[in-house]
């Protein structure tokens, strides 16, 4: 019988000469395979004198391990030689790490919108959508803002026309047109929110942008009071800031509500004044009020029977507050250095 030391020496020499991986596989089958040299060595053990059996088994196993290690080593060096040859041939470098796969995330505005949608649907609100290119009629007239109304000056926008039509079209300046569209289509009572993009003809700076996001809220029911409005707003703030937030109403004028209010929230970031609340401890959060009878009429509802409240949440502003973003232009700037942070 050939001793394992000789077999190992011979096998190693063949492995070192193997020209490719196929040749290595052949040697591997021949030596450590099912019917290979090691297997026949192990098979012969029972025929040996008892005192030799243990030693024979041990050396057969050592042979197997040593051959496998030599094959692995040769395979690695064949592999890097192949890569090296490839790199020289066509400039491709297979040793470089693969390009990083960029994983996208949801935009912060989308994240907050979805959170608010969950919150409001849990309170029985529907989520509605409306056209971004809107009729003047819905954006202004039906919201109690006639053509000569001064409120139009503060909501200058982009006007457009449609070929073959005399309809006066514009990019909507707020999500409020959907109030009337909802009243026209839905059977009262109902509750709805309308998240979406709005547009203004605006000189842009850190707090002004030509395109931003709002979320309209509308509740139509019998006997709706300011108390219902405050209750809904407190629930909203608790959902956003995850704690109880004190609110206050100041009289405010908006043509489509009567009475109208500015709702302020106690600054969630400080107790004695900070830069967010401009040292006042109050943050101006949203305009709101009870739906104006003229708007109810424009939506085909009888103001004697139906009432409601509405609010216009500045979604972009809320996202900025939530994440401490100091410039509204970051939101739609498309800069990955900004977006990567969410
Ligand atoms: Zn503050």
pLDDT tens-place string over residues 117-131: 999 999 999 999 999
**Between 150 and 221, where is the model more confident?**
221
Tens digit of pLDDT for each residue in 78-99? 888 777 777 777 777 777 888 8
Q: Model's pTM, two decimal places? A: 0.68
Q: What is the pLDDT of residue 115?
A: 92
Between the two ends of the chain, the Cα-to-Cα distance in Å is: 71
CA of 266 to the centre of ligand 1 (A): 8
CA gap 217, 220 in Å, rounded: 10
Rounded to the nearest whole angstrom, what is the distance from the C-alpha of residue 319 to the centroid of ligand 1?
16
Alpha carbon of 194 to ligand 1 centroid (Å): 29
Strand intervals (E) in 267-306: 282-291
Could you tell me where the DSSP H helices lie in the chain?
A: 4-17, 21-32, 37-44, 50-90, 108-121, 136-139, 177-185, 226-241, 293-298, 315-323, 336-339
Q: Ligand 1 mean position to 240 CA, how many Å?
A: 16
Q: What angle do CA 215, 167, 133 make, to 5 degrees?
A: 25
**Separation of CA 118 and ligand 1 centre (Å):** 27
Which is the CATH superfamily of the domain at 108-339? Bira Bifunctional Protein; Domain 2 (3.30.930.10)
Structure token pair of residue 34: 């099912």
Confidence of residue 242 (pLDDT cuts 50, 70, 90): confident
**Joined tokens for residue 264:** 């302020």
- Distance (angstroms) between ligand 1 centre and the Cα of 276 equals 5
Q: What is the pLDDT of residue 2?
A: 60
Q: Give me the pLDDT at residue 155, please.
A: 85
- pLDDT confidence of residue 301: 95
* CA trace torsion 234, 242, 175, 329 (10° rounding): 140
* Each residue's pLDDT tens digit, 2-59: 688 899 999 999 999 988 888 999 999 999 988 889 999 889 888 888 898 888 889 9
- 107 burial via Cβ count (<10 Å: 0-12, 13-18, 19+): middle
Any idea which residue has 């009878």 for tokens? 293
User: Is 239:325 a contact under the CB 8 Å cutoff?
Assistant: no
Cα 322 to ligand 1 centre (Å): 13
In this prediction, residue 235 has a pLDDT band, given cuts at 50, 70 and 90, of: confident
Residue 1 predicted with pLDDT over 60: no
User: Per-residue pLDDT averaged across 286-294, rounded?
Assistant: 94
Distance from C-alpha of 234 to C-alpha of 13, rounded to nearest angstrom: 83
| Calpha distance 31→24 (Å, rounded) | 11
Between β-strands 307-314 and 282-291, what pairing exists: parallel, antiparallel or unpaired?
Answer: antiparallel
Distance between Cα 127 and ligand 1 center (Å): 31
| Tokens read off for 121 | 């649907």
Query: What is the Cα–Cα distance from 61 to 33, expressed in whole angstroms?
Result: 13
pLDDT digits (tens, 9 = 90+) for 159-215: 988 888 888 899 999 999 999 999 999 999 999 999 999 999 988 888 889 999 999
| Residue 217 confidence (pLDDT) above 90 | yes
Mean pLDDT computed over 132-148 = 92
């Amino acid at each position: 019988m050939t001793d394992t030391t000789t077999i190992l020496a011979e096998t190693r020499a063949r492995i070192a000469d193997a020209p490719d991986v196929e040749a290595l596989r052949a040697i591997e089958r021949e030596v450590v395979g099912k019917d290979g040299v090691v297997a026949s060595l192990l098979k012969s053990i029972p025929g040996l004198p008892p005192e030799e059996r243990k030693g024979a088994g041990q050396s057969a196993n050592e042979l197997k391990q040593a051959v496998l290690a030599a094959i692995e080593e040769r395979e690695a060096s064949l592999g890097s030689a192949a890569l090296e040859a490839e790199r020289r041939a066509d400039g491709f470098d297979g040793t470089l790490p693969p390009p990083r796969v960029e994983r996208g995330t949801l935009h912060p505005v989308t994240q907050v919108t979805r959170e608010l949608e969950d919150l409001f649907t849990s309170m029985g609100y529907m989520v509605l959508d409306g056209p971004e290119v809107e009729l003047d009629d819905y954006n202004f007239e039906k919201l109690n803002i006639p053509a000569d109304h001064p409120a139009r000056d503060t909501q200058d926008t982009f006007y457009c026309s449609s070929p073959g039509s005399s309809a006066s079209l514009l990019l909507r300046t707020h999500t409020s047109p959907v109030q009337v569209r909802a009243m026209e289509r839905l059977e009262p009572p109902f509750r709805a929110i309308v998240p979406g993009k709005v547009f203004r003809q605006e000189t842009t700076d850190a707090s002004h942008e030509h395109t931003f996001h709002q979320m309209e809220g509308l509740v139509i029911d019998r006997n709706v009071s300011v108390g219902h409005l405050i209750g809904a707003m407190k629930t909203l703030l608790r959902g956003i800031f995850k704690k109880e937030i004190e609110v206050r109403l100041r009289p405010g004028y908006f043509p489509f509500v009567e009475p109208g209010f500015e709702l302020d929230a106690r600054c969630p970031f400080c107790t004695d004044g900070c830069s967010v609340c401009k040292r006042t401890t109050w943050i101006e959060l949203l305009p709101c009020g009870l739906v104006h009878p003229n708007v109810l009429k424009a939506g085909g509802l009888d103001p004697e029977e139906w009432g409601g409240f509405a609010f216009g949440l500045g979604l972009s502003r809320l996202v900025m507050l939530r994440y401490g973003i100091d410039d509204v232009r970051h939101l739609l700037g498309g800069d990955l250095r900004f977006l990567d942070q969410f």
